[in-house]
Amino acid sequence: MKDGFIKVAAASPMIKVADTDYNADKVIECIKDAYSRGVKLIVFPELTLTGASCYDLIGHSVILRGAERALCRVIEATAEMDMLAIVGLPYAPRGGALYSCAAVISNGELLGLVPRSEVGGTVFAAADDEGGEATVCGKFDAYLDTELLFTSSVLPGLTVGVELGGDADAIDAPAARHALAGATVIASLASFPATVTSTIEATEAAKYRSKHLKCGFILAAPGKGESSTDNVFSGLCLIAENGEVLASDECENCMVISEIDVEYLENLRRPTGKFGRSEYKYSHTEFIWGEELCETVLTRHYRKLPHLPEYEKDMGDYCRRMMDIQVSGLVKRMTYAGLDHCVVGISGGVDSTLTVMICAEAVKRMGLPSTNVVACTLPCFGTSSRTKSNAIIVAEQVGAEVRVIDIGESVYKHFDDIGHAHDDYSIAYENAQARERTQVLMDIANKVNGLDVGTEDLSEFVDGWCTYNGDHTSMYDVNMGLTKTQVRAAVRYVAQHTEDKVLADALWDVLDCPVTPELLPIHDDQIEQKSEENVGSYSLQDFFTHKMMICGFSPAKTLRLAKAAYGDEFTDEELIKWLRSYCKRYFSQQFKRSCLMDGPAVEAFSVSPRNGFLIPSDAENSLFMASIDTVE
């Protein structure tokens, strides 16, 4: 449970209808198997101990007493097990009604019985809102109530809520009430049969509900051992977290296992301020586990590129929508400002390449000629013929007006004005070129009734790899909300789908070039200044941004997940080096982000000083660095 992870399981064993002894054996077998694999929470289907297809037999005294004895055996089997098991059974208090209940068990104790609320079309009674005491086999006492939550002091963020069967479809669904009351994980004991669409419907519902409620969701449906008199059951088992399915299967003796990140869910909920404030008065029952946090072995998959779709088949729609957001934002800004030209500084890199293509689409959408895009290549001391050529080819192929403006003489004059030696390659040497380019672009924009459209991307703003008031500044930045990996994906998408072979060849070469600011002198026309040698892999940086700034994880946890995602691609020493660099730069470069221009966000995260992720420009990074030190 270290780092907020809890290993969970959904299980649907092959039972025998009405054979409670046999079913208890199968449940105990599943629990022991799951426990041996590090599972701390396991969820079974509704009415597991009897079968969900007993029909009217479910209320027979023989079946009810058998279900109680079976539950007692399960409870006793969990003694000295630090885990939570949630099992379904029918329960009838002496002289009372018949309920479909979830028995919540831990460490040889019955913590509570949660009855089903929505009972239409069944033989079960609706639970009394007041709840009451319950006794199983005269030896296990517990509270019977729909409003029970289960918590652990070992993993403080973990609170488990329970729902059964039709409760999931209720207008005032218990899962929603549980989540608002603070439950971070919902255990859903299902009872639906298999249909041609049942798996799709259940999966989509789980994704939606876990996203909407910002919770973990564990669903177990009755399995293939159920009666086939009128229905067939699939044994669907599913685990979801915040809209993502972590594990899913349906088969005989089905069990799926994964890890829910409770810390992540808490981080997601914290800014909303609405969770933990339910109008319902829940009773919290604490289950006792060992006192120390244990290491949770991760089996779930972590992607290296979390800002992009997981599957290639989804990349096209994603890139088209991403670029449409950029174009729409630019069109609105130009229309509002009464401007009819875009001015872009093109370098032959992926950022300016995407920007000039976005500008071309924007003027087209506005009914303006493509030559209203003024693409300026501004070579200086570090410009290679390769990048200059690619920049011009791309601009020409999209129909832009291309201007080649050598700024070397202007920069040398500026060096003379400020008393800077021409062979002094310090920071002033580099930044003077970037600021000269920005001045030229803005002045051309003023001259042609245009907008200086920026090219810097989100990754470069995060790590501050830009010259303050140089390439850092523009009149509107269409890449401001895109990470470097997203920019590359968009350029790759155009290269793959354009019918213009000349454009495609240039785009593939742009993608093949190393990321470079080209501000230091070159030799033999070769690219020598490479950004990723200074700030690290942009793939890795974007991963760090997603885990630390979007998910809210510590550097230590981020390092653990990076190892899981990248495998042997980086050594531990390399990961630590670039993580330290990232944390240092994120804090030290905030002053650049505090005065950024407007630009559209393409996902929920941005560093806009108006509505993005903000930190003070003089905040300390000591706690972040200390977190890294704990794993070195």
Is residue 194 scored above 80 in pLDDT?
Answer: yes
On whether the CB atoms of residues 628 and 579 are closer than 8 A, the answer is yes
**Residue-wise pLDDT tens digits, 395-423:** 999 999 999 999 999 999 999 999 999 99
Mean pLDDT score, 599-623: 93
CA–CA distances in Å: residue 616 to residues 20, 56, 267, 609, 628: 62, 66, 20, 11, 21
607 or 95, higher pLDDT: 607
Q: What's the CA gap between 256 and 9, in Å, rounded?
A: 6
SS3 category, 328: helix
Mean pLDDT score, 498-526: 78
Paired residues of 43 in beta bridges: 10, 86
Is residue 98 scored above 80 in pLDDT?
Answer: yes
On whether the CB atoms of residues 168 and 104 are closer than 8 A, the answer is no
Mean pLDDT score, 92-118: 90
Is residue 387 scored above 80 in pLDDT?
Answer: no
pLDDT score at 179: 83
**Residue-wise pLDDT tens digits, 226-261:** 988 889 999 999 999 999 999 999 999 999 999 999
pLDDT score at 505: 94
Confidence of residue 381 (pLDDT cuts 50, 70, 90): confident
Is residue 448 scored above 90 in pLDDT?
Answer: yes
pLDDT score at 562: 97
In the block, tokens 């994880």 appear at: 553
Residue 288 has φ and ψ, to the nearest 5°, of -100, 120
CA–CA distances in Å: residue 276 to residues 159, 225, 272, 280, 282: 11, 39, 11, 10, 10
Please, what is the angle between helix 622-629 and helix 572-588, to 10°? 170
Mean pLDDT score, 136-161: 86
CA–CA distances in Å: residue 219 to residues 42, 118, 126: 10, 17, 22
Confidence of residue 378 (pLDDT cuts 50, 70, 90): very high
Is residue 171 scored above 60 in pLDDT?
Answer: no
- Eight-state DSSP code of residue 325: H
Cα 387 to chain centroid, rounded: 35
pLDDT score at 278: 67
Is residue 157 scored above 80 in pLDDT?
Answer: yes
Confidence of residue 128 (pLDDT cuts 50, 70, 90): low
On whether the CB atoms of residues 324 and 478 are closer than 8 A, the answer is no
Is residue 295 scored above 60 in pLDDT?
Answer: yes
Determine which of 7-11, 288-292, 568-572 has the lowest per-residue pLDDT on average.
Answer: 288-292
CA–CA distances in Å: residue 51 to residues 18, 66, 530: 6, 12, 64
Confidence of residue 181 (pLDDT cuts 50, 70, 90): confident
Mean pLDDT score, 42-46: 98
pLDDT score at 554: 94
Q: Give residues with Cβ within 8 angstroms of 593, minimum separation 6.
A: 461, 462, 464, 607, 609, 612
Q: Give residues with Cβ within 8 angstroms of 78, minimum separation 6.
A: 31, 85, 105, 106, 107, 108
Is residue 362 scored above 90 in pLDDT?
Answer: yes
Is residue 626 scored above 70 in pLDDT?
Answer: yes
Is residue 138 scored above 80 in pLDDT?
Answer: no
Paired residues of 476 in beta bridges: 453
- Eight-state DSSP code of residue 282: P
Confidence of residue 27 (pLDDT cuts 50, 70, 90): very high
The H-or-E segment that residue 335 falls in is helix 315-337
Q: What's the CA gap between 9 and 43, in Å, rounded?
A: 6
For the chain, domains (ranges, CATH) are: 2-286 (3.60.110.10), 312-629 (3.40.50.620)
Is residue 276 scored above 70 in pLDDT?
Answer: yes
On whether the CB atoms of residues 221 and 202 are closer than 8 A, the answer is yes
Mean pLDDT score, 30-37: 97
Q: What's the CA gap between 111 and 108, in Å, rounded?
A: 9
Determine which of 44-48, 141-145, 396-400 has the lowest per-residue pLDDT on average.
Answer: 141-145
pLDDT score at 275: 85
Residue 313 has φ and ψ, to the nearest 5°, of -65, -20
Q: What percent of the chain has pLDDT over 70?
A: 93
Residue 79, both tokens: 């003694």
SS3 per-residue string spanning 203-235: HHHHHHHHHHCCCEEEEECCCCCCCCCCCCCCC
Mean pLDDT score, 430-456: 96
Q: What's the CA gap between 397 and 535, in Å, rounded?
A: 32
- Among 173, 182, 109, 110, smallest CA distance to 146 is for 173
Is residue 318 scored above 80 in pLDDT?
Answer: yes
Total-model pTM: 0.89
pLDDT score at 56: 87
Residue 523, both tokens: 């030799």
Residue 114 has φ and ψ, to the nearest 5°, of -110, 115
Q: What's the CA gap between 513 and 509, in Å, rounded?
A: 6
SS3 category, 90: strand
Confidence of residue 521 (pLDDT cuts 50, 70, 90): low
Residue 296, both tokens: 């949770």
Pairing state between β 5-12 and 140-144 = unpaired
Confidence of residue 87 (pLDDT cuts 50, 70, 90): very high
Q: Give residues with Cβ within 8 angstroms of 241, minimum separation 6.
A: 210, 215, 216, 217, 260, 261, 264, 265
In the block, tokens 């330290």 appear at: 580
SS3 category, 248: strand
383 or 71, higher pLDDT: 71
The H-or-E segment that residue 200 falls in is helix 198-212
